Chains A and B, each alone.
Chain A
Amino acid sequence: MYCNHPPEKPGDKKEVLQKITNMARANSLWVTGYGTGCGAIELRPLGTSRFDMERFGIAMRPTPRQADVLIISGYLSTKTLKRVIRVYEQIQDPKYIMALGSCTINGGMYFDSYNTLNVLDKYLPVDVYVMGCMPRPESIIDGFSLLMKKIKEGRATGWKHYKENLDYYRENQKQIIKNWDLPDYNW
């Protein structure tokens, strides 16, 4: 059921084509509906009429297969990290990670907890950090506009980095997930 070969390196398109596709990608960011920590609370108001993220073309999706963006909302426990890796690797190829809150940057107030990881960037490639504890919906929208800008300029290449440095990320992931039973290539 799983893929048993390492990921293929993404080919480069022509520059003109790339600009057009990046434009299209930036204006239809679909988000996986997966909340890992307390920040998921701030994602709910984004969908309501007050903040209304659909005006930017951002929508929530029930499955990772239809999504582009994975939001790591706040602290991440080692048990959840395993599920997050599964979700992230199931997302189709241009995929971006947005990390909310100070917990994802350096552990935040849970830096000495036995079960929450400190630096998210060691385990998954982060494209945009949104600071705050927790960030208000306005700052999440700000983070989205930064992500759109990065995509349009072609700088949001975390997914390429993940593919090229898969060994590094796997090593870090296996260090803290004690009962590793995922296949090595699962997309």
Chain B
Amino acid sequence: MIDKVKKELEIRFPLLKLVREQHNYLHVKVGATSAMDAVLTAKTSLGFTTLQLISAVDWMENNAFQVTWILENYSEQEVLLISAYFPRKNCVVPSLSQIWPAASAFEREIYEMFGISFPGNPREGEDFLLEGWKDIPPMRRDFETEEYAMRTFGERQPREHIDPRQYIGDVVGEWNTPMGRNREEEK
């Protein structure tokens, strides 16, 4: 069945790349401009009516965000992943919250974690996980997590180290030389 989906998508959109294909699983990459069309066709004419997840990946080297929509056709038990690259600076991706209400939560999370804006989402910008966050979004790769944690939560106290030499003295020195080698030298 997934062959049929693949053919349909290939006819309608110039697929950039076919990433992975199994009997019930297909991952395609499309251009940024035709991403919404691909998602909507998959919903209306190919039967992928469930939105499972929207996820984002920061490709800092390529100066792009990869946004992936994971759709499911429950009656056929098929999964379709449609992903597209969007430019990293002032990233804007169309919202799906009018079509799937569940998309609203995913989009709010991505907005908070990556700073990708989804115009059309009525609840965009509301606090989701990070309340009152003022730094750059924490899931961006140029955000320095450790430095931020040290700055806000204070440095972690190192464990008190106790050197056994202070207490047992020379005995440790004897332990450090391998006994076998000493015996060989004596011989």
Contact = CB atoms under 8 A, between A and B. Distances in A.
B149 interface: yes
Interface in B101-156: 127, 129-134, 138, 143, 145-146, 148-150, 152-154, 156
A117 B154 CA distance: 9
Contacts of B143: 114
Contacts of B127: 179
Contact of A114 (B132, B149, B154, B156): B149
B153 A176 contact: yes
Given A111-B149, A112-B146, A114-B149, A119 B132 contact: no
Identify which of B138, B146, B148, B153 gathers the most chain A CB atoms within 10 Å of its CB: B153
A79 B131 contact: yes
Contacts of A177: 131-132
B132 A179 contact: yes
Interface residues on A, range: 20 to 34
A118 interface: yes
A106 B153 contact: no
Given A115-B138, A178-B134, A107 B129 contact: no
B156 A118 contact: yes
B154 A122 contact: yes
Nearest to B127: A179
A111 B130 CA distance: 17
A78 interface: yes
Contacts of A178: 131-134
B75 interface: no
A111 B156 contact: yes
B139 to A, nearest CB: 9
Interface pairs A-B: 5 shortest CB-CB: A179-B132, A178-B132, A112-B146, A118-B153, A114-B138
Interface of A: 78-79, 82, 106-107, 111-119, 122, 175-179
Interface of B: 127, 129-134, 138, 143, 145-146, 148-150, 152-154, 156-157
11 contacts: A106-B156, A107-B153, A111-B156, A113-B149, A114-B143, A114-B145, A117-B153, A119-B157, A177-B132, A178-B132, A178-B134
